[in-house]
Amino acid sequence: MDSSISSSSEPIRLRVLARELVREAWAPVAVAALLVAASTALFVHDRGEPAVTLDDHIVAAQRAHAREHRPADLVVVGDSSALMGVDPVLLGQRLNLRVESYALLAWAGPAAWGAVAAEAGAAGPPKVAVLGVNAAAVGLSDGRYHEKGTEHLIVEGTRDWPRFPWTAGRDRTYELVVDPLMRFPLPGSYGVAYGYPDVLRARLMENHGGLIDPNRLAAGPAAPVRAQPSPAFLGRLPRLWSRLEGLGVERVMVVSTPVPAARCDAQTEHELAGVRAAIAATARPGWVTALDLPVCRPDADFATATHLAAPGRAAFTVALAEALGGVGR
């Protein structure tokens, strides 16, 4: 084992080093490669719901919430800024209505937002839907929607999940072997606030589909938010409308979720008004109404650049309730 490949006086040749590296490492590397290949082959067709990232947990929790088929007078749909920015319990109290939020994540896309709301609404069709979106969500490209395949699967109504060959073995081994062994809490400040994924799911259920982002927005200058709806986003809206119409929703209200004051100027307000008008224009006339709430809110109200923190969420929900007025009664 200790035979020298380099005499003490002579530096090693690269070719000799390469040969020795191969000699020493080929067997373990080959076995490891076999394990990778075997796990990939085994799991690439496994369609279990992923539980790797925070996003995975949120989508899974919201879909589970939808499958409870809770009756509602008003549903909230949209991206994560609506999920974290609107308090369904408070909104329900203010409007004296049954409110459920089925808001998901931006990259799930309008078609998936509609599909989840439609699944939820099977038992008790809501009269009103509130669509909440932020500037970033309306500008996504086709590629972003296809990135995880989530949109396709939610829209198709299947519970199967896609597995990508290059991560199937890695992710599914983690989900089936490592995670049950370790029972990891959620990452970062979500872990601190919620602990484990099942607690997050339970909180989301208790709060009628609402979640609180536990982060705090870091202070500092930032470029003002600009908003231009992408063709990919606008092109998906009709599928959201058809789902909501299928449910019997009588009115849809579109609202821009707030922007931190440090990133908000007159042009931001102007462009977001344009976004709301563009969204409304994709539906049949008169059915979708743009709600013109003030967009800029103090930075202290925010958890991230797009998510409100708990106090800001409450303030925005109250403002939203006032703007909605007697709708739905």
Partner 1 sequence: MVFDSYAFLAFFALVLPVFHLLRRWLRLQNAFLLAASCVFYGWWDWRFLFLMFGTAAVDYFAALGMERASTPARRKHLLLLSLASNLTVLFVFKYFDFFVASALAAGDRLGVTLNVPLLHVVLPVGISFYTFQSISYAVDVYRREFRAERDPIAYFTFVCCFPHLVAGPIQRPSHLLTQLKHSRVVTRAHVREAVWLLAWGFFLKECVADALAPFVALAFREGQTSGWWTILGTLAFTVQIYCDFNAYSIIARGAGRLLGLEFIWNFKQPYFSLSLQDFWRRWHISLSTWLRDYLYIALGGNRLGPKRTYVNLLMTMVLGGLWHGAAWNFVAWGVLHGGALAIERFAGERFRGRSRPALVGWATTMAIVFVSWWLFRCQSWAMMVDTFTSLRHLEWTTDHTRLLGAIVSASAPVVGVEVFQWRRGDLLAPLTLARPVYSGLVAVLLFGVYVMFKRFDYGFIYFQF
Residue range at the interface with partner 1 (CB under 8 A); choices 6-14, 132-140, 205-213, 221-229: 6-14
Q: Are 94 and 317 in contact (CB under 8 A)?
A: yes
The least distance separating partner 1 from the CB of residue 190, rounded to whole angstroms, comes to 10
User: x/- binding map, residues 120-159, to partner 1, per CB under 8 A?
Assistant: ----------------------------------------
The least distance separating partner 1 from the CB of residue 280, rounded to whole angstroms, comes to 41
Nearest CB to partner 1, comparing residues 39 and 317: 39
The least distance separating partner 1 from the CB of residue 203, rounded to whole angstroms, comes to 15
124's CB contacts (< 8 A; 6+ apart) are 69, 70, 71, 72, 98
Q: Which tokens go with 21?
A: 């590296």
Among 44, 142, 184, 234, binds partner 1 (CB under 8 A): 184
User: x/- binding map, residues 20-39, to partner 1, per CB under 8 A?
Assistant: xx-xxx-xxxxxx-xxx--x
Among 170, 203, 226, 251, binds partner 1 (CB under 8 A): 170
Q: Does 266 bind partner 1 (CB under 8 A)?
A: no
Among 162, 187, 294, 311, binds partner 1 (CB under 8 A): 187
Q: Footprint of partner 1 on residues 196-255 (CB under 8 A)?
A: 196
> What whole-number distance in Å separates Cα of residue 236 and Cα of residue 113?
10
Residue range at the interface with partner 1 (CB under 8 A); choices 3-11, 56-64, 137-145, 234-242: 3-11
Nearest CB to partner 1, comparing residues 93 and 189: 189
Among 111, 195, 230, 268, binds partner 1 (CB under 8 A): 195
Q: Kindly report the three-state secondary structure assignment for every residue of the chain.
A: CCCCCCCCCCCCCHHHHHHHHHHHHHHHHHHHHHHHHHHHHHHCCCCCCCCCCHHHHHHHHHHHHHCCCCCCCEEEEECHHHHHHCCHHHHHHHHCCCEEECCCCHHHHHHHHHHHHHHHCCCCCCCEEEEEECCCHHHCCHHHHHCCCHHHHHHHCCCCCCCCHHHHHHHHHHHHHHHHHHCCCCCHHHHHHHCCHHHHHHHHHHCCCCCCCCCCCCCCCCCCCCCCCCHHHHHHHHHHHHHHHHHCCCEEEEEECCEEHHHCCHHHHHHHHHHHHHHHHCCCCCCEEEECCCCEECHHHECCCCCECHHHHHHHHHHHHHHHCCCCC
The least distance separating partner 1 from the CB of residue 13, rounded to whole angstroms, comes to 7
Q: Does 182 bind partner 1 (CB under 8 A)?
A: yes
Residue range at the interface with partner 1 (CB under 8 A); choices 91-99, 171-179, 302-310, 319-327: 171-179
Nearest CB to partner 1, comparing residues 165 and 248: 165
The least distance separating partner 1 from the CB of residue 109, rounded to whole angstroms, comes to 27
Nearest CB to partner 1, comparing residues 13 and 67: 13
Helices 109-120, 231-247: crossing angle, 10 deg rounding: 10
Q: Does 174 bind partner 1 (CB under 8 A)?
A: yes
Positions that interact with partner 1 (CB under 8 A): 1-14, 17-18, 20-21, 23-25, 27-32, 34-36, 39, 170, 173-174, 177-178, 181-188, 191-192, 195-196
